[in-house]
Every structure is written in structure tokens, then in C-alpha cells.
Chains A and B, each alone.
Chain A
Amino acid sequence: MTNKNNTAENNHKTTVTPLDDTPDWTFDLLEQYQHEIARVADFYRLDTYTNQIEVITAEQMMDAYASVGMPIGYSHWTFGKKFIQTEQNYKRGQMGLAYEIVINSSPCISYLMEENTLTMQALVMAHACYGHNSFFKGNYLFKSWTDASSIIDYLLFAKNYISQCEQKYGISEVESTLDACHALMSHGVDRYKRPQKISLDEELKRQTERAEYLQSQVNALWRTVPKKEQQENEQKYKFPKEPQENILYFIEKNAPLLQPWQREIVRIVRKISQYFYPQKQTQVMNEGWACFWHYTILNHLYDEGLVTDKFMLEFLHSHTNVVAQPEYNSKYYSGINPYALGFNMFIDIRRICEHPTEEDKEYFPEIAGSNWVDTVHFAMENFKDESFISQYLSPKLIRDFKLFHIHDDSDNNYVEIGAIHNEQGYKKVRHNLANQYNLSNLEVNIQIVDANIDGDRALTLRYKPHNGVELGNSKDEVLKHLYYLWHFDVKIIQEDSAGEDQVIACCPQKKEDE
């Protein structure tokens, strides 16, 4: 294989005949392009997992969509719903399918859609197989929070385990458990504690052991009831000792009446949620990085004379579509396009390194004029969206995007322009844009504060509003799911303006019961 590739490379170097640019791809052509792209990626020091490039049909792409990019998903109605939605939209022509999907695993699996032209396949390979792939391998969040080598095994384990449960305990029961877990999925993440690596062997080995152990722990909880009197003299026993933000973890370990297999399902959902958590935090960076590299690599190939003008025109057409940013008053506007922001930021970092202006030297003294390859690698490896933006968003880019900040206080009947793209506004715009990507501002801060295990085992959660934003009105529905897992009363409290705790939601709802 390598020998063959080497000779191919030599041929190109000596003759510099451009690669074939026919619209129809073949596996031979894909190999050739892949080989050249790999060579350039290596030149720019992109470190990747081994690529596993899979060619699939549009229908399979919709499948992959429906299972939120998990190559092996367990069965659940929501995936069916997503598939139907996607299929429906696709058939009506309301949306095109993504050109690619890439999975954070080792080997890194990327899907190429059969319908793509050769140019698109090359773009996708540069984008996914070298851009995203190197991001997965290099970024600190992925390094410390996910274990790419074991995820496929784990997903397989999860799928099999859940289908076994369906056979043993019935589809409906498993479905209800999964529904409940999905409702709490974004609260199944350890935000600060680094998770342990998961490995299939260990999972299997420990699973039975764990189920038994957990059950015995729960029984121990029950046995605390008679001891109540002894403890009364001492301090009132508080459980959990500290508020718990990982609701699913708390449920898995402490829910009194949950079956062992249900605990395992809670755990599976939790693990999968944890696996996707870094992706949520690095959307701008990840997409920006991938776009930056497909752009840089393919331009590099063009400079070497390896791809034709025709190829470049088609590539630039697609590329421009992907990184377009509609303005706020456009009918296509739906927030800031992470591809556009990320791509332009990386391009801008390179510009600051190569051609710094006085302004850049003032704002970015440490990177202005430095080696751009080093700098972008450093940026990719050590940041997430929030910190990346607050570190690298330059005044020039703010001007290019004409960014402005709107301050919306629901007490007023107007919204106020807080800052615009001028000298006084740069830092404020940058600060607010960075906050916009801070997950702890976006996601609801809700924690388990009390489980009252000596009493009626009622579970109390506390909602801490961010900037006075209320909890959305689906809270009652979510509480029903939590109640399903906990089996005893659950309620959410929130401190009102007078400093008193108010119950804002509870399940079962008392009024209706009586």
C-alpha cells in the first residue's frame, strides 16, 4: 500500500499532472485525493487518528442523522421521529443533507455520501478526515473527557444491553425508562470532574457486580430508617451532603426503587451524554478548524498545481455557502453561523501572525508576527468556544461581521444596544459573544439539594436562575420523568426576590390529586 502510494507521489512530483476532476468519483480517485490531502495535512502537522472513510447512500445518511451521529444506536422512538422528519424535509427539498458526518472515535469514522461529486468528496475528506479528526485528537476537552478508542465498543454494548432489556422486561418499560433519561440527559454530565475512561471489557466485567452492589447500597438506604432516632440528637442528617448537579448520576446511585437494569440504562444514557458534552462546547472551534483546514489544504493543492481551476471553482462555491453569515435582518438569519465565525477566526489568527497591523499588535502582542502554524495549533488544543472567542476575536473581525450587542431586560419594554463594532465596544461585544457560548449560562442550573431519605424520601431540586431567566414551561413534564425514576415526590424550588424558597413545580401535582 505504502509503496504504491509512494510511487504515485513521485509521479506527481515529477510531472505535476493535475488530478482528475471529473464529477463522478471512483474509489481509485478517492484514494489519490486522500493521499495528496494526507500529505499536505502532514506538512501542516495535523495529527489524526487513523481514518476510516465509509461511503454511504442518502438513506443511510438520514439514518446517521436520526441517531444523532452515533454509528450504532439503540432503538428508540425519538430516532424514528427524527428519521421521519429528516426524510420528510429532504424529500420536500427543504434541506440538503450534510455532506459528511464524522464520529469522534479511533479509528475516526467519516461518512461520505454517494451522491457527492468528486470535488465534494475531496472537500469532505479534507474537512472531516483531517480537520475534525485532528481536532478530536488534539483538543484538551476531547482528550480528557472522551475516550475515542472505546466509544464504538461502548455503543455496541449499550445497544445490545438495551435490546436484551427489551426482551426481558418489555419494550414499553424500557421505553419509559429511556424517555425519562433522555429528558434529563443534559443533566447527566459531570461538568467539573473528569470522567473515567470507559472500556468494553471492564464494563462487561463489572456490570453484574455493579448491579448487585448498587442494589445492596440502596437497601442500606432503607435500613437507615430505624436509626433515625439515634441521629436526631446529633445534627440532622442531610443527604446529599452537597448539591448534586449530575441528576442522572444521583438517580443511578441513589434512587431507592429502581431496578438494576434501569440503573444500567441510566448509566448508558449518562455516558453517552458525557461523550457528546465536549462537542457542545466546541462547536465554533471544531467547525472553524475543519473549515480552515479544508480551505487551506485544498488551496495548497491548487498552488502545487494538483487540482484544476474547475475543481477550485466548484469547491469555492460550496465552501462559500458553508461559511456564509446572513445578517441579522436577513430572512435566512438564525443566529451566528458557527462555521462562519470559526472559519473566519482561524483565518484571522493566521493573518495576525503573518501580516499584523498596529491594532493587532496592541490587542494580540503575544501572537502578532509569530509562526501561524504553531499559533493555530495552540489555539485548537487549549481552548473551548467561550475561551477561544474571548482570547482571539479581533477588532477587525468584529468590524467585518459588524457585530453588535443587544441588552434585553424583560423589565423594560425596549431592548438596548449595549455595544457596537467601534473602539469602545470591541471588548464588550467580545465578552458578550463569548458568554453566548458559555454552556453554564445556556444550560439550566438545576441541582439536587435534598433527598429527605429519613422522611418521605421527597426529592428537592433547586433552580438557580441566571440573570433572572425563568425556568421554561416544560419543567412539569420533565418532573414527571424524574418522578418515574425516583418513585417518590419530587419538587423544584427557587428563591424568590424576598429570599424565600418557593416551590415552582412538583410532581405528583397536589392540586390535581385532591
Chain B
Amino acid sequence: MANFIDRRLNSKNKSTVNRQRFLRRYKNQIKKSVSEAINKRGVTDIDSGESIVIPNRDLSEPTFHQGDGGIKDRVHPGNDQFSTGDRIPRPPKGQGQGAGQGDASDSGEGEDDFTFSISKEEYLNLLFEDLELPNLEKNQLDKLIEYKTVRSGYCAEGVASNIDIVKSLQGSIARRIAMTSSKRKQLKMLEEELLALVNDKHDNIQQKRELMAQIESLKEKIAKVPFIDTFDLRFRNYAKQAVPTSKAVMFCLMDVSGSMDQATKEMAKRFYILLYLFLSRTYKNIDVVYIRHHTQAKEVDEHEFFYSQETGGTIASSALELMNDIISERYNDNQWNIYGAQASDGDNWADDSPRCQQILEQQILPKSRYFSYIEITQRAHQTLWKHYQQVEESHTNFAMQHIKTVADIYPVFREFFKKNTHSAA
């Protein structure tokens, strides 16, 4: 007796709930692992999933079990050299002996840490958990500038190209039924009468003729009801709907003067990538504009931005000016969400710093969603930092942080986008 059941098409991912429970329980460890990984991993593969490592001891499910000591009698197969009474020095732990029993991981045998993969989605969720884009809601409503055409029902008037044939013909049928119903009822009655007369034994020629004439005229009247009428026509209606724009542009500004070495740039790059990933969770299309500067600013491509070396002094305002120019030229702030991120080692020509402050306050910040400045340096802050501090005090969409080592990047990033940081403002 047997019944076969094909379960292959049954719900997959039956264990999803359990997996989520597991992730939930180890969220703290996983988060730690994620934030460590962000500093370790190569910058380019940041958009992939992540292997999570959790020390095995954190995962163990404790039970009462037998420990060390005492007398243990074990039987093993494959005797090739022993005789009764042989004495052998005790082999070191975890070799040959005692593996047959219970929880091997609990009895001190070295086992690897528990490693598993999380998907890109889960990874990014954990990476950016509790973070949000500041000022997003506040500005969104007053800048509804993009329109999308959406269907919105039917209307009786419109251009011929929008005629909806099915709807129109449905109207036509309805109208014809409505307009002819009384006539058809009459027709039916007359036809029945006629039939009765035909079946009658007497020939009522006169009556028949009259009836036939009436039937004819009724049929004609019915036929005269037009097949389609302008009244029937229905046109597809379209309406314009305002949608919040989902385009964003991210300006990466970096000082490439002689004082910025490759390691510093690498740190800046990681920061930019985090920012990019974070923005890509909110916006579908993101343009990235790279602006590098020493005494002059220049818009470059990604590779040149990060890897080509320049020397010379530093005038930071040049980059800000260029950014402002590019915004006015290509990124109308009504249509684009503008984000700026500036990285520098803090060096700037002293007289230029007030000018930077001025450009930021008057030109760039009013148009931007958010502008962040990171200073990557081991030394004391210089004039640029001081002037930017004044900006920070008076503007909610400006933030600055100081990064010393690679390990600071992720915490600093979290600091920038911590939920509700600016909501009170």
C-alpha cells in the first residue's frame, strides 16, 4: 500500500521564517560583522552580498552533557596492532578518540566559526538600518514638478485616436436595446397574433394583411435605430499626475593636491561608495559628478578622480564654484535631488576658506538636499574646518565629520544619516 504525492511544487522557502528568526536573533553579531566587513572588503564589490562570521560559542545551544575525567570505555573497529593489556600514551584531544559521542562542538574540539552568506538585499538592509536621508520629506512636497500621464476612466468627449472601441460598442448595444424594447415587445405580440390567425381554420385575409403591414412597419422602425451614435462614443481619459522626482545627482568633490596621498583618497572613495549605495536605495537614477581640485577644479571621470596624481596648492572654492556652475547648467534643482560630498585633508589656502563658506551658504546649500564634508587627517583642523563649522551651525542640510582611520568611515557615515537627526530643525 502506498500513495505517491508530488510535493515538488509546494511552497518553497518553507524555512524563510526560521531564517529570519535566526537573523533577528543574531542581529547584533551580524551587524558587527557587516560593519567590520565594510572596512575590509574591496571597494568595487561593495554591491554584492556578504559572508557573515559568527563565533561558534555565541551560537551554541547548551545542554547538559558529559565532560572530562572519569573512566571511559570505548570500542573501536579495525584493530591492527593492539593486544590486550597494551598501554598507549593518551592521544591528544580530538584525535581518533571519542568523536562518536554527542555534541562535538561543546567538548572543546576546534570547530570553525559559523559562516554564512546573506544576500545583497539583506546586507544593504543591515548596512543602512536606522539610517535615512535627511530633509527628504520636508522638501519633497513643494517640488512636485514631474508629471506622469495616467489613465483615469472614460469620458464622452475626446480625440478620435482615443476612442475605446469596446466601451463604445457596449454603449451602442445598450442604447439600441433601450430604444427598441417597446417596439420589439409590440412586434412579438403581433407575431403571436399572426401565428394564431394562421392556425385559425377561417381565413382572415384582411386581418392578416393588416397585421403583416404593422409588423413590416415595426421592423423598419427597429432597423432605423442607428447602429452607432455619437452618444455611444467613449474616449479614454488621461490625467496628469504629479510625481515626486526620483532623480538624484551626487557631487563628489575631492582635494587632489599633493598633500592627499593614495590612502587618504581610498578612504574618501569608500565614503563615496557608501553614499552612492545609500542613495541608490531611495532613487532609481543617480548621476554622479566627480570634481577634483587643487588650485583649479575639473570635472573628471571616476578613474581619473581616484587614481591620477596631482600636485600643487589647494583652493577649495574652485571646486564649489564648478559644482555650482554644473548645477545651473545641467541639474535644475527643481528636477534633481542634489547631494554633495566633499572630502579633503583640511588643507586650504587660508584666504580661500571664507569664500568657500560664502559659496556654500549662498549658492549651493539652498539648492541641495544635503551636503556633507569629511576631513581625513591626522593633524589639527585648519581654517576650512573652522569656517565650515559656522556653516554647520546655521544650516541643517550641512554636516561635517572628521575621519582619522579607515575604521571611522562607517561610524561617521552612520552619524551623518542617523534617523531624525535633523527632523527637529
Q: Which residues of A contact B (CB under 8 A)?
A: 27, 30-31, 34, 38, 48, 50-57, 59-60, 62-63, 66-67, 75-81, 83-85, 88, 107, 111, 114, 125, 129, 171, 175, 179, 182-187, 325-330, 333-336, 401-410, 413-422, 424-425, 429, 432-433, 435-436, 442, 444, 446, 465-475, 477-478, 481
User: CB < 8 Å: which of A76, A329, A333, A419 contacts B21?
Assistant: A76
Which of the segments B32-40, B101-109, B307-315 contacts the partner chain?
B101-109
Given the interface pairs A403-B77, A444-B65, A477-B62, the reply to whether A419 lies near B84 with Cβ below 8 Å is: yes
User: CB < 8 Å: which of B60, B78, B90, B116 contacts A402?
Assistant: B78
Q: Is the CB of B22 within 8 A of A84?
A: yes
In the complex, what's the smallest C-beta–C-beta distance from B125 to chain A, in angstroms? Answer: 17
Listed A/B pairs (28) with beta-carbon separation below 8 Å: A53-B5, A55-B4, A55-B8, A56-B8, A67-B15, A76-B18, A80-B18, A80-B19, A83-B18, A88-B116, A175-B25, A184-B63, A184-B64, A325-B77, A326-B77, A328-B96, A329-B80, A333-B76, A403-B77, A406-B74, A414-B88, A417-B84, A418-B73, A467-B71, A467-B72, A468-B70, A472-B67, A474-B106
Q: Is the CB of B70 within 8 A of A410?
A: yes
Q: Is the CB of B77 within 8 A of A442?
A: no
Given the interface pairs A77-B25, A472-B65, A474-B64, the reply to whether A51 lies near B87 with Cβ below 8 Å is: no
Q: Is the CB of B66 within 8 A of A466?
A: yes
* CA–CA, A134 and B1, complex, Å: 13
Q: Is the CB of B17 within 8 A of A417?
A: no
Q: Does B224 interact with chain A (Cβ within 8 Å)?
A: no
Q: Does B231 interact with chain A (Cβ within 8 Å)?
A: no
Contacts of A477 in B (CB 8 A): 60, 62
Q: Does B24 interact with chain A (Cβ within 8 Å)?
A: yes
Given the interface pairs A417-B85, A478-B62, the reply to whether A53 lies near B75 with Cβ below 8 Å is: no
Given the interface pairs A63-B14, A66-B15, A481-B62, the reply to whether A414 lies near B75 with Cβ below 8 Å is: no
In the complex, what's the smallest C-beta–C-beta distance from B118 to chain A, in angstroms? Answer: 10
Contacts of B90 in A (CB 8 A): 408, 413-415
Chain B interface mostly: loop
Query: Which residues B106-152 have CB closer than 8 A to chain A?
Result: 106-107, 114-117
- Which residue of chain A lies nearest to B19 when distances are taken between CB atoms in the complex? A80
Q: Which residues of B contact A (CB under 8 A)?
A: 1-8, 10, 12-15, 17-26, 59-80, 82-91, 96-97, 99-102, 106-107, 114-117
Given the interface pairs A50-B2, A51-B1, A472-B67, the reply to whether A403 lies near B18 with Cβ below 8 Å is: no
Q: Is the CB of A408 within 8 A of B8?
A: no
Contacts of B61 in A (CB 8 A): 78, 179, 182-183
Known: A56-B7, A59-B12. 18 other contacts (CB 8 A): A50-B2, A51-B3, A77-B26, A80-B15, A80-B20, A186-B63, A187-B64, A405-B73, A409-B70, A418-B73, A425-B84, A432-B74, A436-B74, A444-B64, A446-B64, A469-B67, A471-B66, A477-B62
Contacts of A334 in B (CB 8 A): 99-100
* CA–CA, A56 and B7, complex, Å: 5
Contacts of B96 in A (CB 8 A): 328-329, 333
In the complex, what's the smallest C-beta–C-beta distance from B111 to chain A, in angstroms? Answer: 11
In the complex, what's the smallest C-beta–C-beta distance from B175 to chain A, in angstroms? Answer: 55
Chain A interface mostly: mixed
In the complex, what's the smallest C-beta–C-beta distance from B247 to chain A, in angstroms? Answer: 39
- 9 nearest interchain CB pairs? A335-B100, A327-B78, A80-B22, A468-B70, A80-B18, A469-B70, A477-B62, A51-B2, A472-B67
Q: Is the CB of A468 within 8 A of B2?
A: no
User: CB < 8 Å: which of A52, A175, A328 contacts B3?
Assistant: A52
Q: Is the CB of B8 within 8 A of A471?
A: no
Given the interface pairs A54-B5, A414-B89, A446-B64, the reply to whether A404 lies near B79 with Cβ below 8 Å is: yes
Q: Is the CB of A77 within 8 A of B21?
A: yes
User: CB < 8 Å: which of A60, A179, A333, A409 contacts B10?
Assistant: A60
Q: Is the CB of B3 within 8 A of A50?
A: yes
Q: Is the CB of B19 within 8 A of A415?
A: no
Given the interface pairs A80-B19, A474-B62, the reply to whether A53 lies near B73 with Cβ below 8 Å is: no
Given the interface pairs A50-B1, A328-B77, the reply to whether A468 lies near B59 with Cβ below 8 Å is: no
Contacts of B115 in A (CB 8 A): 88
Contacts of B89 in A (CB 8 A): 413-415
Given the interface pairs A75-B21, A415-B88, the reply to whether A420 lies near B3 with Cβ below 8 Å is: no
Contacts of B26 in A (CB 8 A): 77
In the complex, what's the smallest C-beta–C-beta distance from A253 to chain B, in angstroms? Answer: 20
In the complex, what's the smallest C-beta–C-beta distance from B139 to chain A, in angstroms? Answer: 37
- Which residue of chain A lies nearest to B23 when distances are taken between CB atoms in the complex? A80
- Which residue of chain A lies nearest to B5 when distances are taken between CB atoms in the complex? A54
Q: Is the CB of B67 within 8 A of A470?
A: yes
Q: Is the CB of B77 within 8 A of A336?
A: yes
- Which residue of chain B lies nearest to A467 when distances are taken between CB atoms in the complex? B71
* CA–CA, A227 and B100, complex, Å: 52
Given the interface pairs A51-B1, A79-B18, A469-B69, the reply to whether A432 lies near B62 with Cβ below 8 Å is: no
In the complex, what's the smallest C-beta–C-beta distance from A169 to chain B, in angstroms? Answer: 15
Contacts of B72 in A (CB 8 A): 408, 410, 467, 469
- Which residue of chain A lies nearest to B52 when distances are taken between CB atoms in the complex? A84
In the complex, what's the smallest C-beta–C-beta distance from B66 to chain A, in angstroms? Answer: 5
Q: Is the CB of B78 within 8 A of A328?
A: yes
Q: Is the CB of B4 within 8 A of A415?
A: no
Question: Which of A76, A410, A474, A481: most chain B CB closer than 10 A?
Answer: A474
- Which residue of chain B lies nearest to A463 when distances are taken between CB atoms in the complex? B64
In the complex, what's the smallest C-beta–C-beta distance from A166 to chain B, in angstroms? Answer: 10
In the complex, what's the smallest C-beta–C-beta distance from B50 to chain A, in angstroms? Answer: 14
* CA–CA, A435 and B70, complex, Å: 16
- Which residue of chain A lies nearest to B76 when distances are taken between CB atoms in the complex? A328
* CA–CA, A5 and B355, complex, Å: 94
Contacts of B91 in A (CB 8 A): 415
* CA–CA, A413 and B90, complex, Å: 6
Contacts of B24 in A (CB 8 A): 77, 171
Q: Is the CB of A55 within 8 A of B7?
A: yes
* CA–CA, A478 and B65, complex, Å: 10
Q: Is the CB of A107 within 8 A of B88?
A: no
* CA–CA, A88 and B149, complex, Å: 48
Contacts of A424 in B (CB 8 A): 84
Contacts of A335 in B (CB 8 A): 99-101
* CA–CA, A53 and B85, complex, Å: 52
Q: Is the CB of A327 within 8 A of B77?
A: yes
Q: Is the CB of A403 within 8 A of B74?
A: no
Contacts of A114 in B (CB 8 A): 8
Contacts of A421 in B (CB 8 A): 79
Q: Is the CB of A415 within 8 A of B87?
A: yes
* CA–CA, A30 and B77, complex, Å: 38
- Which residue of chain B lies nearest to A65 when distances are taken between CB atoms in the complex? B15
Given the interface pairs A55-B7, A472-B66, the reply to whether A407 lies near B15 with Cβ below 8 Å is: no
* CA–CA, A471 and B4, complex, Å: 47
User: CB < 8 Å: which of B65, B84, B107 contacts A420?
Assistant: B84
* CA–CA, A469 and B66, complex, Å: 6
- Which residue of chain B lies nearest to A186 when distances are taken between CB atoms in the complex? B63
Contacts of A336 in B (CB 8 A): 75-77, 100
Q: Is the CB of B73 within 8 A of A408?
A: yes
Given the interface pairs A52-B2, A77-B21, the reply to whether A330 lies near B78 with Cβ below 8 Å is: yes
* CA–CA, A30 and B114, complex, Å: 40
Q: Is the CB of B74 within 8 A of A474?
A: no
In the complex, what's the smallest C-beta–C-beta distance from A342 to chain B, in angstroms? Answer: 14
Q: Is the CB of A403 within 8 A of B82?
A: no
Contacts of A54 in B (CB 8 A): 4-7
Q: Is the CB of B84 within 8 A of A422?
A: yes
- Which residue of chain B lies nearest to A330 when distances are taken between CB atoms in the complex? B78
* CA–CA, A420 and B81, complex, Å: 10
Contacts of B101 in A (CB 8 A): 335, 442
In the complex, what's the smallest C-beta–C-beta distance from B212 to chain A, in angstroms? Answer: 68
Contacts of B117 in A (CB 8 A): 88
Contacts of B59 in A (CB 8 A): 81
In the complex, what's the smallest C-beta–C-beta distance from A239 to chain B, in angstroms? Answer: 22
In the complex, what's the smallest C-beta–C-beta distance from B73 to chain A, in angstroms? Answer: 5
* CA–CA, A55 and B82, complex, Å: 48
Q: Is the CB of B114 within 8 A of A85?
A: yes
